[in-house]
Chain A
């Protein structure tokens, strides 16, 4: 199978979409631990392979709003996100006195965004 090995890169396309959780700033860049990703969204820095470099891909299946909402989903301070709609989770956070950012409520009630958390349908 000599031919297969030479074409391996074409065989398995390595194109990775600009997905993954990106944080605007990170203090511990190399001490990231994937195990903590689900619980400490604020300290997680994904490996550089998952972060897009250069110009943004405009054909993304999600946009800035979705990114903000995903950060909200992953923030463990507001509790687990799975099994609740984002708005219900925001309202729960509000009721428990956690002061979730008002802009999230605005996004969820106003614009056309996904009402379910990022794991919905995947788990």
Chain B
């Protein structure tokens, strides 16, 4: 009697890549709050950007003198460098609550606070000057960016802008794309486990695809080329009705933690086989102000046992096989949408790269930690991949810089609404989407006409 032989299963090995986290600058563990105000971070930002711009404007307009705002002389052409401030009459102001007269304009307009009368002001330590002329369009700019302007002071005391100079894309380290093979990075954002709009089956399908539990050998082979997974914020949604400051009944307590427990189970299914980064978003149980600190590992008792599991900051910066990634969970772009306008999310992203600042509206309208010695949102090295999560739709394109930099911009849509995840090929930085649908089949009835 011969022993039955079990068909040996062919093992498909997942590809490997080297991962390095560069989140140290976003860590606030060593920061001590000593009562400082935001003037410190604005000073760090202005000084760093101004030093850079002073070196760049000599090539832009070599014969025009550079001066400070207070050193402006009427009629004399010069270049000034400073922080922009956009005066917006519709911007909600806490003092509006105390105004005696109720104007016809509602107190808070949810979507966009722009108005045709908005004007820009340039400010440095010596003073500020109102910007005039038609070259600078207030709808494109926001408070907090640092730029250089060529122009002259008018009799009215304004600064007539003749030309604008932005820092442009930061220098980029050429990636040594060592591998000639396809390796994929999967981006998902806005999974919103626990929300009424999220479909648990859709997320389970995604997890099963990544871990190779779906499909035949060919599909498993494709899944084996996924080397990294990034969750770009809003992975859970805790029912807001429960978080109203009241003591929770024991049955409500379990409801609060349910969503995170489900997320932990699913993350651990992924972490078994592939390295996964999870970033906090605006709805996640993390701190509010940027840079958001990593989600506490106690929330993930299952996943944290794997060394492939990384709880990361928001913004998040890392290197994979020498390719530099930089991204956020969306708050920076969402804030730009409220105070300026552009064709699409990708154009907002392009502006942040050209201004070399991830979140120029922080701390003005975007919560931010009051750093004293640095501004961690300044982009010193241009990434190869720049991603933003929790957007309304998927979008991607390549941005080229003046010095040969190439950046893949990715706008990651909310998974709970679209069922889309984004996949990037490390070999050539090409992007495509993975679509997961779990529609119940519709029952068709035939009516007699």
Interface residues of A (CB under 8 A from B): 39-40, 76-77, 79-80, 82-85, 88, 91-92, 95-98
- Given known A88-B372, A95-B373, contact A39–B125 (CB-CB < 8 A): yes
- Contact present for A80 and B40 (CB under 8 Å): yes
Select one of A83, A97, A98 contacting B40, CB under 8 A: A83
- Contact present for A83 and B47 (CB under 8 Å): no
- Contact present for B44 and A92 (CB under 8 Å): yes
- Is chain A's binding surface mostly helix, strand, loop or mixed? loop
User: Which B residue sits closest to A85, measured CB to CB?
Assistant: B34
- Contact present for B125 and A84 (CB under 8 Å): no
* Chain B: minimal CB distance from A32 (Å): 15
Which chain A residues lie closer than 8 Å to B257 at the CB level? none
Complex formed: what's the CA distance from A84 to B126 in Å?
21
Complex formed: what's the CA distance from A83 to B51 in Å?
24
B35 at the interface (CB under 8 A from A): yes
Select one of B36, B47, B48, B51 contacting A84, CB under 8 A: B36
- Given known A88-B373, A96-B48, A97-B51, contact A83–B36 (CB-CB < 8 A): yes
- Contact present for A83 and B34 (CB under 8 Å): yes
Which chain A residues lie closer than 8 Å to B126 at the CB level? 39-40, 76
Per-residue A-contact encoding for B78-96, CB less than 8 Å = 1, 0 else: 0000000000000000000
B364 at the interface (CB under 8 A from A): no
- Given known A92-B44, A96-B48, A97-B51, contact A83–B125 (CB-CB < 8 A): no
Which chain B residues lie closer than 8 Å to A92 at the CB level? 44, 372-373
Complex formed: what's the CA distance from A87 to B51 in Å?
23
Is the interface on chain B under 10, 10 to 19, 20 to 34, or 35 or more residues?
10 to 19
A-B contact pairs, 14 of them (CB 8 A): A39-B126, A76-B125, A79-B39, A82-B35, A82-B39, A83-B34, A83-B36, A83-B37, A83-B370, A84-B40, A91-B373, A95-B373, A96-B48, A98-B47
* Chain A: minimal CB distance from B126 (Å): 7
Which chain B residues lie closer than 8 Å to A91 at the CB level? 373
Complex formed: what's the CA distance from A85 to B34 in Å?
9
- Given known A84-B372, A88-B373, contact A79–B47 (CB-CB < 8 A): yes
Complex formed: what's the CA distance from A98 to B34 in Å?
23
Which chain B residues lie closer than 8 Å to A39 at the CB level? 125-126
Complex formed: what's the CA distance from A82 to B38 in Å?
10
* Chain B: minimal CB distance from A106 (Å): 21
Per-residue A-contact encoding for B26-45, CB less than 8 Å = 1, 0 else: 00000000111101100110
* Chain B: minimal CB distance from A12 (Å): 33
- Contact present for A96 and B39 (CB under 8 Å): no
Complex formed: what's the CA distance from A116 to B245 in Å?
38
* Chain B: minimal CB distance from A116 (Å): 9
Which chain A residues lie closer than 8 Å to B34 at the CB level? 83-85
Interface centre among B44, B51, B370, B372 (most CB of A within 10 A): B372
User: Which A residue sits closest to B33, measured CB to CB?
Assistant: A83
Interface centre among A82, A83, A96 (most CB of B within 10 A): A83
Per-residue A-contact encoding for B410-444, CB less than 8 Å = 1, 0 else: 00000000000000000000000000000000000
Which chain B residues lie closer than 8 Å to A85 at the CB level? 34
Which chain A residues lie closer than 8 Å to B44 at the CB level? 79, 92, 96
Complex formed: what's the CA distance from A79 to B375 in Å?
14
* Chain B: minimal CB distance from A115 (Å): 11
Complex formed: what's the CA distance from A92 to B44 in Å?
9
User: Which A residue sits closest to B370, measured CB to CB?
Assistant: A83
- Contact present for B51 and A80 (CB under 8 Å): no
Interface centre among B37, B39, B373 (most CB of A within 10 A): B373
Residues 1-42 (chain B) with a chain A CB within 8 angstroms: 34-37, 39-40
Select one of B37, B48, B51, B125 contacting A82, CB under 8 A: B37
Which chain A residues lie closer than 8 Å to B35 at the CB level? 82-83
Complex formed: what's the CA distance from A94 to B126 in Å?
21
Complex formed: what's the CA distance from A76 to B43 in Å?
10
* Chain B: minimal CB distance from A37 (Å): 13
Complex formed: what's the CA distance from A80 to B34 in Å?
14
- Contact present for B47 and A82 (CB under 8 Å): no
Per-residue A-contact encoding for B215-245, CB less than 8 Å = 1, 0 else: 0000000000000000000000000000000
Interface centre among A40, A77, A80, A98 (most CB of B within 10 A): A80
* Chain B: minimal CB distance from A13 (Å): 33
Complex formed: what's the CA distance from A77 to B124 in Å?
11
Complex formed: what's the CA distance from A96 to B43 in Å?
11
- Contact present for A82 and B372 (CB under 8 Å): no
Complex formed: what's the CA distance from A5 to B47 in Å?
55
Complex formed: what's the CA distance from A119 to B125 in Å?
18
Per-residue A-contact encoding for B47-71, CB less than 8 Å = 1, 0 else: 1100100000000000000000000
